[in-house]
Amino acid sequence: MTEEMSRVQRNAQTSRKQPKKNSSKAKRYAKYTILTLATLGVVGALGGAGVFAYYASSAPKITNSALVGTSQTQLLDADGNVFYTTGSKREMAKQSEIPKEMRMAVVSIEDRRFYKHHGVDPRRILGAAFANFTGSSLGLQGGSTLTQQLIKLTAFSTAASDQTIKRKAQEAWLALKLEKEYSKNQILTLYMNKVYMGNGVYGMKTAAEYYFGKDLKNLSTPQMALLAGLPQSPSGYDPYVNPKGAKARRDEVLEAMAQNNVITQAQAKKYMALPVTDGLMTTHPSSSTQDEEAKVDDAYIMSTLAEIKKLGYDVNKDGLTVQTNLNQKVQDRAYAIGNTADYVNWKDDDMQVGMTVTDPNNGKVIAQLGGRNLTALQGTNRATNTVRSSGSTAKPIVDYGPAVENLGWSTNHLVLDTPYTYPGTNIQPNDWDHKFMGSMTMRNALAQSRNLPAIRTLQEVGYTKSLEFLKKLGIDIPANEMVGSSAIGINVSTEQEAAAYAAFA
């Protein structure tokens, strides 16, 4: 019995010791896991630091002149001369001209911890991520500090292709360097002088004059709040175009100012009750730097800006220098042809014109005219407009070119200028003189721009072959738009036709 009890006791002791072994094993696993994660963290941090250092080493140099300079875009002609600059003339504000309340309005909505960080704010980055997750972004517009935004405006573009890890690393590195060389208020002043404010306006001093006809020091608090909120989306918060959106943004800035103890909640509520149009200028000088001389290059400017936009750039924010193929002498002549009686006996002042001039050796567009007697800049550009018929300039590319290529016709091929009815209709097209020339060569039919030979030629070539020929020339017309009358006119721009005719050259 005693021996049996002894075995029971030993078994009980053994069972009580077992959990200690399991506990010890679990501790070892936890220890190894922590060590592994710590090692991976160190390796990751070292790797990240190495990548950051590598990217930082190739960061662009930031000069004081670049920081002071504008984000406006310049277009250069073929000789390298500036012929267009976006936006209005910018008024630079001295640091002493910017009221403290104006500075704090910007800080409150854009970078609440501006005076506490050193250019990059990890806490802000985490806060912005949380704000994006919860849908609240008051005072946390993304992870970039105001210093980083100044760097972005100075050295980088807003193009989607430029939004890379390398760019972000360089931006952060340059922001850290900038904070060592400039005071906080100097950085803030540079930012407020450079930022785009909508309607062709750069800088908050210029914006104060444009929107309210005042100096910065004379703005009311809600007016300061409106200006402070504009840089995030100048077009979206434009008080002229979208007063509802502008008021919502202004009120968001006022709330941020209250939370940042710049104003009281009672003041914020009082200011929010005011209409966003309070004190807003209803008339003001044109924001454009372009004068009468700019009308000469107007169509070329519009076409170039449209191409830049297609590439994903913002000409109002990216501070681009764009080399174009504009030949100013040819452009001047084109303008003179359209706007004087020295070359063409225009029927009246209402008669319009579209013109594109290309160099057939390389396809470069060297001049463009979008209309006559312009009363405003950047309106309708008839040179690139594709909703008007080309008239008889279509005949070589719709009819005769395809006939030469597909049917083997020579310029001496005989065509008929005799009465004709469009298939399936009772419509009979005619020429301006309502006469018929009978049998004639293709060369003469084209030289005299006779309609009936052209229409017959398209029917012989066939719509499919004509469309294929046009597509090779860069003119893509939907099949359902190719009809019998297309032989004597298609909806195409002068730009498209100039490129197409280069194939003949």
What is the CB-side half-sphere exposure of residue 22 using CA atoms within 13 A?
A: 5
Cα angle, residue 491 at apex, residues 446 and 505 outer, rounded to 5°: 45
What is the CB-side half-sphere exposure of residue 279 using CA atoms within 13 A?
A: 18
Cβ 319 vs Cβ 70: under 8 Å: yes
Cβ 501 vs Cβ 364: under 8 Å: no
Token pair 């100044």 is found at: 150
Q: Tell me, what amino acid is at 442?
A: M
Alpha carbon distance 134, 149 (integer Å): 23
Where are the alpha helices (H) located in 353-475, listed in sequence order?
A: 401-402, 442-447, 451-461, 463-472
Cβ 159 vs Cβ 318: under 8 Å: yes
Cβ 64 vs Cβ 311: under 8 Å: no
Over the range 488-498, which residues count as b (16 or more CB within 10 Å of their CB) and which as e?
bbbbbbbbbbb
Where are the alpha helices (H) located in 340-386, listed in sequence order?
A: none
Residues contacting 301, CB < 8 A, separation 6+? 75, 83, 84, 294, 378
Q: Given 3-state DSSP classes, what are the helix, strand and coil percentages for the chain, each rounded to the nearest 5?
A: 55, 5, 40
Determine which one of 91, 110, 209, 497 is catalytic. 110
- Identify the CA nearest to 261 among candidates 105, 45, 401: 105
Alpha carbon distance 450, 454 (integer Å): 7
Radius of gyration from C-alpha coordinates of the chain: 35
Residues contacting 79, CB < 8 A, separation 6+? 328
Tokens in use for 169? 């690393």
Alpha carbon distance 253, 84 (integer Å): 35
Determine which one of 287, 392, 449, 485 is catalytic. 392
Catalytic residue check, 389: no
Alpha carbon distance 390, 489 (integer Å): 5
Q: Which of the 8 DSSP states describes residue 495? A: H
- Identify the CA nearest to 200 among candidates 63, 347, 85: 85
Catalytic residue check, 392: yes
First to last CA, the chain: 120
| Displacement of CA 412 from its chain's centroid (Å) | 51
- Identify the CA nearest to 493 among candidates 400, 403, 385, 419: 385
Alpha carbon distance 12, 6 (integer Å): 10
Tokens in use for 232? 């995030």
Residue numbers annotated as active site: 110, 392
